[in-house]
Each structure stands twice: as C-alpha cells, then as structure tokens.
C-alpha cells in the first residue's frame, strides 16, 4: 500500500493572473518560497521513500526544502509537468476568459484541446502513466512518496483513481502549497486528505 503526498507548488507571480503551462523560468515569489519552507516543516515527521517533482522551476523549488529536510534527492519526472496549453501559454486569464474555448474548458473539459497543446484527456493519460511508473518501486507496507506537481495535474490524477468523470475535475479546488494524500493498494483508491493548507498556515504562526 502506497500513500502519495500530492503537493501543489507554492505561489508565483502568475497565480490567478496568467496561464503558465510549460513556461520555463517562472520561479516562486517570496510568499511561495516561504510556503515551501513551511511545507518542509509540516512534513518533517513523515519519512518519504522518495520525492518526485515536475521539472518546472515552480515545482522543483517547492520540492527542494522538503528534500533537504528529508535527506533525499529530487527525482525529476517530465510526465508530472503541468498541462501543455500550447498557444495559451503565458496569456492573461482576463483575456482567455473571453474566448469560447474557455467555457468548454470549464464545463466540458473532456471535449477541450488547447490550440497546439494537449487535451485534458491526453494530459490525464500522461500523468496517470507517470504515477503508474512510480508505484512499483514503493510497494512496501506504509510506503510514503512525495509528488510535487501542479493544480490541474493533481486534480486529473485524483479524478482517475477515484473514478470521477473528467468533466467533473474543474469542480475541485486546489490551493498553492496544498497537500493531498491518495492511498493506493490492492483495494480501491482512497483520498485520505484533500487540499490541506491549514497545517501549512498554522506552522507559519508558530
């Protein structure tokens, strides 16, 4: 039985403003770096067998304090990258919301494909394939693995393993620097925690 600690990266200056996709060179801002340090503190009592991360800077920089505190190396996995949004990469959300495709993305994402990018179905298949490639190395009882990725990828993974329709994934909310725990084993998948941010914030107040 394996517990996947699915961690969304911390804040950067584009959160809520632009669609980053696979943008390179987008780093955590000061708040995001503080969130990453607090995540490492919150997770310090949980010993991970491994830490996997999207190679994009905002995810990797979130994983670094956790890895340092755990004494582990970060294993970068390209399959954990954000959704490839193609021509929409870097565009302001206020403008993207005016496009017809935006409505499809929000209400019928299974039918949506980003111009010169991925469909959500393709992104979900890529992400699940990456998770399935990770799992065989962590079959020991009570194995725990940290996976640092992005909001939509984590939601897509959760939907797959819980048997939720792809068209429902936009109903899930996931905050920056949040922790969600998915338990996978012989029986049905179980979501142990979802979008846990209060532990991170409480650690900051100590």
- What is the per-residue DSSP string for 57-111? HHHHHHHHHHHHHHT--EEE-GGGSPP--GGGTT-BHHHHTTSHHHHHHHH-GGG
pLDDT reported for residue 206: 37
Buried/exposed code over 75-104 (b: 16+ C-beta within 10 A; e: otherwise): bbbebbbbbbbeebbeeeeeeeeeeeeeee
Q: What is the per-residue pLDDT across 115-147, written as a single tens digit (0 to 9) for each?
A: 999 999 999 999 999 999 999 999 888 899 999
pLDDT reported for residue 168: 96
Average the pLDDT over 103-113 and give the result.
97
Q: What is the pTM of this model?
A: 0.94
- In this predicted structure, the answer to whether residue 203 has a pLDDT above a threshold of 80 is no
Q: What is the per-residue pLDDT across 55-106, written as a single tens digit (0 to 9) for each?
A: 999 999 999 999 999 999 999 999 999 999 999 999 999 999 999 999 999 9
pLDDT reported for residue 187: 87
When comparing pLDDT for 201 and 156, which is higher?
Answer: 156
pLDDT over 70, % of the chain: 96
Query: Using 50, 70 and 90 to split pLDDT, how confident is the model at 185?
Result: confident
Q: What residue spans define the domains of the chain?
A: 2-204
3-state helix, strand, coil in the chain (%, to 5): 45, 20, 35
Q: What is the mean pLDDT of the chain?
A: 94
**Angle value at C-alpha 177, between 156 and 12, nearest 5 degrees:** 100
CATH of span 2-204: 3.40.50.1240
């Amino acid at each position: 039985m394996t517990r996947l600690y699915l961690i969304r990266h911390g804040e950067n200056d584009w959160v809520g403003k632009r669609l980053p996709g696979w943008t390179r060179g987008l780093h955590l801002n000061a708040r995001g770096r503080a969130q990453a340090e607090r995540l490492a503190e919150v997770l310090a009592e949980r010993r991970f067998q491994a830490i996997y991360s999207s190679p994009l800077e905002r995810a990797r920089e979130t994983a670094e304090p956790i890895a340092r505190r755990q004494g582990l190396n970060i294993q970068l996995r390209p399959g954990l990258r954000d959704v490839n949004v193609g021509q929409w990469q870097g565009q302001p959300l206020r403008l993207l919301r005016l496009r017809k495709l935006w409505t499809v993305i929000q209400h019928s994402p299974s039918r949506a494909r980003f111009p010169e990018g991925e469909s959500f179905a393709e992104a979900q298949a890529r992400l699940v394939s990456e998770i399935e490639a990770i799992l065989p190395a962590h079959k020991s009882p009570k194995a725990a693995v940290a996976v640092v990725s992005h909001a939509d990828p984590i939601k897509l993974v959760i939907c797959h393993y819980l048997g939720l329709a792809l068209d429902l994934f936009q109903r899930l909310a996931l905050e920056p620097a949040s922790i969600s725990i998915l338990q996978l084993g012989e029986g049905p998948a179980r979501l142990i925690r979802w979008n846990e941010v209060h532990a991170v914030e409480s650690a900051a107040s100590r």
